[in-house]
Amino acid sequence: MTGNEVKLNYVITSCVRFPLLLQAMKSSLLVSAHNLDCLFVISSDGEEIKVEHLRVPQLLGIALSDDQQRLSLAAYHQVWDYQRITAPPALHASVQSTQGRDAVFYPCGSMTTGHLNTHDLAWGKDRLYMVNTRFNCIASPVYGKSFDVVWKPPFISALVAEDRCHLNGLALKHGQPAYVSYFSETDHRFGWRDGSSFDGAIMRISDEQPVIKGLCLPHSPRVNQNYLYFCESGTGRLWRCSEARLPASKSDLELVAELNGFTRGLRIVGEMAFVGLSKVRKAKDGSSRHTDMPLLEKQQDLRSGISVIDLRDGSEIACLTFLGDLNQIYDVEMVFGCNNPLIFDLNSEELSDLFHL
């Protein structure tokens, strides 16, 4: 499908199994595309996929609470908060776009943080956690100030807006921050840009110990059934390791899948992993860095999309392919219990007639 209404140049196609999978799961997929300032909502009627999008400036992280009632989006200088409407349709019958929808999320507020270059978002037990990449820390948005600091790596000496190590990924365990990913253990402004692409690591927060080193641009750490999963983006790989074996060397890791894209964005559901794939892009500032990234050798063969991997054997169950300008994916999330959700665009005129009582 092509997003003509906002003059975006993209096409999304799927294999035969993808719409069947979404319908069987009674779920819909959320994908952030930061280069297009869009959140994509992908659902299914069982035969074809349905694609909608809403504009969110420089969208990166997506977070859904465990009860699926709150949705948070990391925009350019704000964190947007949405709430799921579960009331009868009569409460919002004047809004035509809600007709036939099995889930509706409406924006109920935002917090202005300033440009933190917020990457991963995650809803914990009692608060929203965000990876504050610009200030090299894990933080929480709060009303009345830009953020509260929750934790910062021990090698970061000062709380300054210098993106020293490119902290990007966050994994929760039991509702608390457990692991982070970063590009390099550097403590000066944009230090991560200077070295090898293999300076990345995963750190365990509880003892502030790097548990896996020598990674090529890691992203998206996740904990599932006592395994740590993560994307080694610069190699196109998805890895896992038993938490009992951490810290581990790369030879101790189990390769789940090797894909033909920059792996970033990971949602694990049961025995399946939904993995975001992007093409390798040039640095926004025009500089040349990380020239030792293995994916650079096969740029022409890379694709953008979503690959669903069977965690039992690493095979691909289903896939989406993105064409055109839709080639930079950051995060992937699932909305359960609906095949036709509506997430209101912040600029929707219908919001003026939406009253949730």
User: Over 90: is that where the pLDDT of 183 sits?
Assistant: yes
Per-residue confidence at 92, pLDDT binned at 50, 70, 90?
Answer: low
pLDDT tens digits along 303-313: 999 999 999 99
Q: What are phi and psi of 352, to 5 degrees?
A: -70, -20
354 vs 45: which has the higher pLDDT: 45
354 domain residue, yes or no = no
* Per-residue pLDDT reduced to its tens digit, 285-299: 767 889 999 999 988
- The predicted pLDDT at position 187 comes to 98
CA-to-CA dists, residue 265 to 45, 62, 150, 252, angstroms: 25, 10, 23, 23
pLDDT of residue 130: 98
Give the pLDDT confidence score for residue 93 in this predicted structure.
Answer: 57
Structural domain contains residue 149:
yes
Does the structure show a pLDDT above 50 at 98? Answer: yes
Residue 113 has pLDDT above 90, yes or no: yes
Task: Assess contact for 332 and 30: CB atoms under 8 A.
Answer: yes
> What CATH number does residue 10 fall under?
2.120.10.30
Q: Does residue 322 belong to any structural domain of this protein? A: yes
pLDDT at 52 (0 to 100): 96
The type of residue at 336 is F
| Of 66-70, 117-121, 129-133, 342-346, minimum mean pLDDT range | 342-346
235 occurs within a structural domain: yes
Q: How many structural domains comprise the chain?
A: 1
Over the stretch 272-282, which tens digit does the pLDDT of each residue have?
Answer: 999 999 999 87
Alpha carbon distance 64, 79 (integer Å): 13
Q: Is residue 255 over pLDDT 60?
A: yes
Instruction: Order the strands of the 254-258 sheet from edge to edge.
Output: 218-224, 227-232, 237-242, 254-258
355 found inside a domain: no
The arithmetic mean of pLDDT across residues 236-254, rounded, is 96
Tell me how far apart the alpha carbons of residues 275 and 179 are, in angstroms, rounded to a whole number.
19
pLDDT recorded at residue 4: 38
The overall pTM is greater than 0.85: yes
**Is 177's pLDDT higher than 60?**
yes
Q: Is residue 356 included in any domain, yes or no?
A: no
Domain that holds residue 314: 4-349
- Percent of the chain residues past pLDDT 70, beyond the cut: 95
Residue 196 dihedral angles phi and psi, to the nearest 5°: -75, 155
Judged against a pLDDT cut of 80, whether residue 103 lies above it is answered with yes
Assess whether pLDDT exceeds 60 at residue 186.
yes
Q: What does the pLDDT read at residue 99?
A: 80
**Confidence band of 350 (pLDDT split at 50, 70, 90):** confident
Give domain status of residue 357, yes or no: no
Is 16 part of a structural domain of the chain?
yes
Position 1 scores a pLDDT of: 37
